[in-house]
């Protein structure tokens, strides 16, 4: 379950950092950065909920509390810089690392219901990573 806990932390970090970019956006790219950050954050709360309900409770494990997850997140959070492109690059790389974590979890569990949820999360992150890639070109 440790890898699942790390996945929860990663999704929270992506969501929080996307919102930091959302609020730090300025200048000529303000509106597009603002909307892209919203798009990246969108839906992650549902995946977090699905992990807790399907992968913890569904396997009769205690789901971590918000406090437990957030305490773990604090050490992993990124601080938004004034360089918006650098922020997007940081987020891109973090999403890429999270995708790699998902693939490791899939190998470990190899259970259709687990892999179905993880595939949905990976698919969503891949789309978001692609949009960010276009932004940082």
Which domain does 72 fall in, by range? 2-136
The count of domains in the chain is: 1
Report the pLDDT value the prediction gives residue 122, as an integer from 0 to 100.
98
Q: What average pLDDT does this structure show over 43-61?
A: 96
Q: Whole-angstrom Cα distance, residue 72 to residue 53? A: 19
Report the pLDDT value the prediction gives residue 80, as an integer from 0 to 100.
79
> Torsion angle, CA of 44/12/65/61, rounded to 10 degrees?
60
Domain with residue 126: its CATH number is: 1.20.1260.10
Report the pLDDT value the prediction gives residue 13, as an integer from 0 to 100.
96
Q: Whole-angstrom Cα distance, residue 119 to residue 99? A: 10
Report the pLDDT value the prediction gives residue 22, as an integer from 0 to 100.
94
pLDDT at 1 over 80: no
**Residue range 19-37, pLDDT digits in tens:** 999 999 899 999 999 999 9
**Residue range 56-111, pLDDT digits in tens:** 999 999 999 999 999 989 888 877 788 999 999 999 999 999 999 999 999 988 88
Residue that the structure tokens 């730090």 belong to: 24
CB 8 within 8 A of CB 51: yes
Chain centre distance of CA 6: 11
Tokens of 89: 């690059």
Q: Is the dihedral of CA 86, 134, 30, 21 positive or negative?
A: negative
Tokens of 59: 């396997």
CA Rg value for the chain: 15
């Amino acid at each position: 379950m440790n890898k699942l806990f790390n996945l929860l932390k990663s999704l929270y970090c992506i969501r929080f950092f996307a919102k930091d970019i959302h609020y730090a956006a300025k200048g000529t790219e303000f509106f597009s950065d603002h909307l892209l950050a919203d798009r990246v954050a969108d839906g992650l709360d549902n995946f977090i909920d699905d992990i807790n309900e399907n992968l913890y409770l569904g396997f009769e494990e205690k789901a971590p509390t918000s406090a437990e997850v957030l305490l773990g997140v604090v050490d992993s959070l990124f601080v938004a810089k004034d360089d918006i492109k650098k922020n997007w690059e940081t987020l891109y790389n973090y999403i890429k690392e999270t995708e790699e974590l998902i693939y490791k979890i899939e190998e470990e569990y190899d259970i259709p219901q687990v892999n179905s949820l993880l595939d949905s999360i990976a698919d969503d992150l891949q789309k978001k990573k692609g949009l960010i890639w276009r932004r940082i070109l």
